[in-house]
Structure 1
C-alpha cells in the first residue's frame, strides 16, 4: 500500500476518534483555526472529506452542508477512493489541474492540522507519527507561499528551528503551537 495512503488512513482514524470523543458541551469551544469553533471545524472537516473524495474520483466541488456528525463515514468514503491505484494518476480539473498526489498531500495536511486544532481546543493530546510530520513539513514548505496567497494557510508563525517537527509544521501553515483556549 502507498505510504501516503497509510498516513492518510492513520490521520483520518485519529481525527475521527477525536471527533467522536467530543461532547456536546465542547462544540462551541474556540479553535486555533480562528474561522471556526469546534462544531464549525468538524463541519469543515466533513466537507474536506467529501471534497477529496470527489476530487480523487475526478468529480467537482461538493456543496458545503450543515454539520451532520458523520465525519468518520465521509473519511472512509474518501479513503476508499484513494485506495484505487488509478486515483493517484493524472490531475484534478476541479482543483485547477493539480496532480493527484498533491491532492493527497493536501488531504493529509487538512486531516492533521484540523485534528490538532480540535485536540488543542478540547485540551487533548494529538500525536502524529514523525514520518507523517516529515512528509507534511516537506510538502508545506513547498506549498506555503501559494497556500498563503490563496488564503489556505495563515501567516507563518515563528517557531524555533530546534522545536519539534509538529510545531515547525504548524508554524509553517500559520498555527501557533502554543495556542490555548
Structure 2
C-alpha cells in the first residue's frame, strides 16, 4: 500500500515537473524562500534524506527527480522497506518514514509547484483526507516544533504559521491554510 501510494504521488509530481516551461523555473512559489526550481530541489533533497545519501544532480530537474524517485521506489520494493530507521519523531520503518515525509511532501509541494507554474492545483480527495487527518492529529507541542524553522535541521521547516481559512471552506483550502499556505492569494 505504501509503495503504491508513493508511486501514484510520484507520478503526479513528475507530471507537474515535466510541464514546467523553461521560463517558469525562477517563478516564486508559495514557499517564501523557494522558486519553482527550489521546490523541486527540496523534494529531491528530501528523497536523499530518506535514503541517507545524496541524489546525483544534472542541470535537468526532471531527470534529477526521476533518479530520486527511482532510488526511493527501489528501497520501497526491497527488504530495506521494513528496516527500522532513526527519525526526528522516533524510530520507525523506512517505508513508514518515506510515507510520512517524502510521500506527503509530493502532495503539498506538488501544489506549490502547480501554483508557481500555473498548473492544475487540485489535490486528490483521498490525499486531502489523509493529510488533513494526519496534520490535525499532531499534538499541539509537536505542531509548534513543526512550525519552527530549523527545528529539524538547518533550512527545514515542516509547516509554516497557520493561515486563517473559513471553517466552511473546501477541505483543500483548510488543509493548505493549516500547514501555512495561502490557498487564495496568487501573489507571493
Once the two structures are TM-superposed, the CA of residue 162 in structure 1 deviates from its matched residue by 2.2
Match for residue 159 of structure 2 among 144, 153, 161: 153
Query: What 5-or-longer segments of structure 2 have no aligned partner?
Result: 152-156
Superposition pairs of residues 66-81 of structure 1, within 5 angstroms: 68-69=60-61, 70-81=64-75
Aligned residues: 172
Once the two structures are TM-superposed, the CA of residue 66 in structure 1 deviates from its matched residue by 7.8
| TM-score of the two chains, using structure 2 as the length reference | 0.79
Q: 1:30 to 1:95 in 2, by over 3 A?
A: same
Matched with 2:76 is 82
| TM-score of the two chains, using structure 1 as the length reference | 0.82
Q: 1:179 to 1:65 in 2, by over 3 A?
A: farther
Q: Give, in whole Å, the separation in 2 of the partners of 1:131 and 1:88.
A: 24
| Residues 90-109 of structure 1: CA deviation (Å, up to 9, x unaligned) | 3x225463423244112222
Q: Give, in whole Å, the separation in 2 of the partners of 1:77 and 1:124.
A: 27
Counterpart contact for 1:105–1:136, Cα < 8 Å: no
Query: What 5-or-longer segments of structure 1 have no aligned partner?
Result: 55-59
Matched with 2:174 is 168
Q: Give, in whole Å, the separation in 1 of the partners of 2:123 and 2:70.
A: 19
